[in-house]
Amino acid sequence: MAQKRKLKKGIKKTLIFFRLILLVLFLSGFFYYGLDKYKKHSISNINRDVVKKLDYKVDLSMLVNYEHKIPKDYDLRLRNVEGNKEVATILYNDLNRMITLAKYEDGVELKINSAYRPNNIQKDIFDSYVKDYQKQGYSYSAAVQMTKISVAEPGYSEHETGLAIDFSESGNTVKNTKMWNWLAKNAYKYGFIKRYPNDKTNITKVKYEPWHYRYVGIELAKEIYDSNLTLEEYHEQNKK
């Protein structure tokens, strides 16, 4: 009799254990189902933000580089993103979509290091680089030329348009590598192109920057990505 009681108790404990497991699995499934619905709801609502009807136009194919200054009539309009950064209003929705989908669908967190820079800040950055090169023994003209490889002259910087974004997180090599690999494969789907590829330095005149992306709109970004062009090459082809 004692053995039968022990056996019954053992069976009861086992049943209770399995019921607890089933309950945990059910609650977990319910939780993740709700979380997934919340994510999808959040994603579907991204494009319901401000920039539905734009009352201004920007030439998204505009070339700004060492030879081409920002047009005087460029209509700069900015929006805050990530609290203390500013970007051109026209790219705001696509940027939010990209950041959200990268995180929810692929587990990649995109961090903005630098976006819009006013002309005076760009000038300060450029001048500081020039001074550093002069301290290393370069003449002023040589220091300027060396600086241009890394930093655009004020008035010639894409950052001053609000259309350029540097994606990086200081001191986090692993995270940056993951971020840049994701952007290289996916950014064009949201209207961004890698502006300074590794094998096109002779064309862009800027060293390789895996973090620097420029918004050109989804249609043009796909065309540039598929044809493996830089923005300079795209403009040269369109001249012909």
Q: Which residues are catalytic?
A: 209
Neighbours of 181 (CB within 10 A): 12
**Helix H segments across 64-206?**
92-106, 119-135, 140-148, 173-186, 201-204
Structure tokens at 132: 């550093």
Name the residue with tokens 């001053």: 160
Residues contacting residue 98 through CB under 8 Å, at least 6 positions apart: 110, 186, 187, 189, 190, 192
DSSP letters spanning 56-86 = S---TT---SSS-PPPTT----EEEETTTEE
